[in-house]
Structure 1
Amino acid sequence: MYKKYFKRLIDFVLSTIGIVVLLPIWIALALAIKVDDPGPIFFKQKRIAKDKNGKKQFFQIYKYRSMKMCTPHDTPTHLLKNPQQYITKTGRFLRKTSLDELPQIFNIWKGEMSIIGPRPALWNQDDLYAERAKYDANAILPGLTGWAQINGRDELEISEKAKFDGEYVKNISFLFDCKCFFGTLLSVLKKEGVIEGGTSEMKKRKDKEKE
């Protein structure tokens, strides 16, 4: 019942409340972005959605723009050469606090995402999509945050992320979603797992320790 009905109901109610209550923050962040680097306030990007009839689907994810207008499009930050040069001053703050993800409330409201679920992969991240397929993690709505996000986030390798997403799929419940939600708040406050321009940092550190 929770997975089929109540999860979506909770997503809709909370996203509606969030859109209204956070209006002053929407305006303040929009002004900061505009002053820092003239251009669009929001950044849209093609992402992989929930599978439909076993087939890959796509949607446009919303984010606050945290990078300069000259940044190459449809390229993950960790694949950019010297990504720091593209991130605006306001963008650094948005990314460290995860506020750049805030506009995804609209994706949740529309039913394209859930509050909790696997983070939506880029349209060309076939390796992550394939790994998640092993655990049926492509068969549920992608989320604003998820089990993998509080267990390493950018530090995890793709195979590890997929395993955590698989664990989430097996254990979806209201209590587990609460655990992911409050765990995310704690991770954001501690600024854990955010690695600009790099992934698999956890493995790299372990390899260095072995040397």
Structure 2
Amino acid sequence: MIRIFDFLFSFLGLLFLWPVLVILYIIGLFDTGSPIFVQERVGRYKKPFKLIKFRTMHVNTQSVATHLSSSSSVTKFGSFLRKSKLDELPQLINVLKGDMSLVGPRPNLFNQTELIAERDKRGVYNFLPGITGLAQVNEIDMSTPVELSEKDAEMLQNLTVSDYFRYIFATVSGKGSGDRIKK
């Protein structure tokens, strides 16, 4: 049932938001010269997939978890995209393709070994990663791997269709902090 919602909402989201995506893409061209950011992330069953986002950092920035990145790496437009969560919109393509769900644990990098171990212990990788979820609306980020893994597992064990919509609406209405970066 949730996969049907994922497909339907990601398709409709891309269909209705394409003018916004085009505008953000064009502004991103002027901001960084390369507005789309593609990065390998850990997916369901720990299989790699290519996560698509709008670029928020300078092109040659080192690939590290967001909470470890320096604020000087983020462009002014990138800062706006992160605060508004618009940098996540291209992930609707990942959802449409079946690499992600709208709701699930945020996909991490393969170099986040502590988080991978904690999530593995709790069976988190048996589910699709998502754009938002319980941890995000409660402002828990990847800097606390144990707490994040516990919240992810709690969400996945008890996820109902009403929770699915609640997390989406909470995110769209601005609940959660977005990506945090080191000051």
2:66 to 70, 73, 77: 77
Q: What amino acid does structure 2 have at the position aligned with 1:59?
A: F
1:95 to 59, 67, 82: 82
The residue aligned with 1:171 is 158
Query: Equivalent residue of 1:153, what SS?
Result: coil
Paired positions, count:
183
1:62 to 45, 52, 60: 52
Query: Equivalent residue of 1:46, what SS?
Result: strand
Q: Structure 1 residues 50, 130: CA separation in 2 closer, same or farther (over 3 Å shift)?
A: same
Q: What amino acid does structure 2 have at the position aligned with 1:197?
A: K
Quote the Cα distance in structure 2 between the aligned partners of 1:155 and 1:113.
18
Select the structure of larger CA radius of gyration: 1
Quote the Cα distance in structure 2 between the aligned partners of 1:90 and 1:79.
20
1:14 aligns to 2:9 (yes or no)? yes
Q: Does the aligned pair in 2 maintain the 1:155–1:195 contact within 8 Å?
A: no
The residue aligned with 2:116 is 129
The residue aligned with 2:30 is 35
Q: Could you state the TM-score of these two structures normalised by the residue count of structure 2?
A: 0.93
The residue aligned with 2:39 is 45
Give me the identity figure in percent.
Answer: 37
Quote the Cα distance in structure 2 between the aligned partners of 1:148 and 1:169.
11
Q: What amino acid does structure 1 have at the position aligned with 2:115?
A: L
CA deviations on 1:82-135 (whole Å, 9 max, x unpaired) are x12211111010011111111000000000000000000112112111111222
CA deviations on 1:111-164 (whole Å, 9 max, x unpaired) are 000000000011211211111122211100000101110112338611111111
Q: Structure 1 residues 156, 75: CA separation in 2 closer, same or farther (over 3 Å shift)?
A: closer
Quote the Cα distance in structure 2 between the aligned partners of 1:178 and 1:32.
31
The residue aligned with 2:181 is 196
Q: Does the aligned pair in 2 maintain the 1:153–1:194 contact within 8 Å?
A: no
Quote the Cα distance in structure 2 between the aligned partners of 1:78 and 1:172.
27
The residue aligned with 2:138 is 151
The residue aligned with 1:204 is none
Q: What amino acid does structure 2 have at the position aligned with 1:48?
A: V
Q: Does the aligned pair in 2 maintain the 1:47–1:58 contact within 8 Å?
A: yes
Q: Does the aligned pair in 1 maintain the 2:10–2:96 contact within 8 Å?
A: yes
Q: Could you state the TM-score of these two structures normalised by the residue count of structure 1?
A: 0.81
Name stretches of at least 5 consecutive residues in structure 2 with no aligned partner: none
Q: What amino acid does structure 2 have at the position aligned with 1:84?
A: S
Name stretches of at least 5 consecutive residues in structure 1 with no aligned partner: 1-5, 199-211
